[in-house]
Structure 1
């Protein structure tokens, strides 16, 4: 009887697949726990929210941080996800020598419409397991932002839901409150 082989990849092997042309940028993949995942196509609402978040953070924090937009982060030898937005500690070489690692990350954000379940069951637990101090899940369908803090090996210990009309701030950069309506684009829709 033939058995199916389940191959787990390291980050180096994953990069080799790209270098060999087996995987291309058009494939839109990411490596989570040694498995290669095909990322969902980016819809209009999702793309708009990512652009809006990038714009918001650029205006708020100017040049105090580096903003990654759908860029890889290296969590371990088997995980290199591509969060929608990452707020990173300033580094003069803009992470030329290496992808950001957990120590470099102030905040990770996933924007979800069709991927809420995958983000909640796969990506957020992975972020917590690797000590990412804060992650947000922008749920476009429920029009809310789930703020995840206090990471532990079994997930985030502090999860708060912020909705329209409320404000929140980045734990590592608490001096500025950000309106949920601005994150979700409700301020534009309702005007």
Structure 2
């Protein structure tokens, strides 16, 4: 019998409208944490104690300094494009009269994004960084808990970010949107523990 050559399969990426329909139909259990990125459903990693504490700490510190000039959304969806509705750990967005009850924030409404990486550093610094750059997000930070550093991504283009910096706790950072808000990295990074 001659060999059988299968034709390559064509995958159909999900659109945001398909994803929303699946959510509305109750296709995902309440315990599932899923996001849509580049037309694919991504099962998110469970959030451990260090991760949760870091997100809370960042939200508190940013809220204290930026106050009512921004809205800080925690692990809520943003609308990148028709095939991506990720849920960054922190999205620092422009205030909205309805607190975004009528839509998820779009790139034009986002000042900057922060992801906290405990076990997801490669995903956050590669896959997510590329998607955020392609959407034109000018400022993206990844708090690397195991590495005790902050990755800063700037100068977006279609291939990724033109500028990638790794800062340690001896340095300072200011977001592009608020250049006068300068934070020592020691304040943003979790307090080192000996245990």
Tell me if both proteins adopt one fold, taking TM over 0.5 as the criterion. Answer: yes
Q: In structure 2, what is the equivalent of residue 52 of structure 1?
A: 57
Q: Which has the higher strand share?
A: 1
Q: In structure 1, what is the equivalent of residue 122 of structure 2?
A: 117
Aligned counterpart in structure 1 of residue 112 of structure 2, from 100, 107, 112: 107
Q: 1:25 to 1:134 in 2, by over 3 A?
A: farther
| 2:13 maps to 1:8 | yes
| 2:170 maps to 1:165 | yes
Q: What is the aligned-residue RMSD (CA, Å)?
A: 1.7
Q: In structure 1, what is the equivalent of residue 84 of structure 2?
A: 79
| 2:64 maps to 1:67 | no
Q: Distance in 1 between matches of 2:30 and 2:186?
A: 32
The number of residue pairs the alignment matches comes to 189
Question: Normalising by structure 2, what TM-score?
Answer: 0.92
Partner secondary structure for residue 175 of structure 1: coil
Q: Please tell me whether the aligned partners of residues 18 and 24 of structure 1 are also in contact (alpha carbons under 8 angstroms).
A: no
Q: Report how far residue 119 of structure 1 moved.
A: 1.1
Partner secondary structure for residue 31 of structure 2: helix
Q: In structure 2, what is the equivalent of residue 133 of structure 1?
A: 138
Q: Please tell me whether the aligned partners of residues 145 and 190 of structure 2 are also in contact (alpha carbons under 8 angstroms).
A: no
Q: Report how far residue 26 of structure 1 moved.
A: 2.0
- For the pair shown, the structure with the greater C-alpha radius of gyration is 2
Deviations 1:57-110 (A, max 9, x none): 110111110001001000011000000001001211111111000000100011
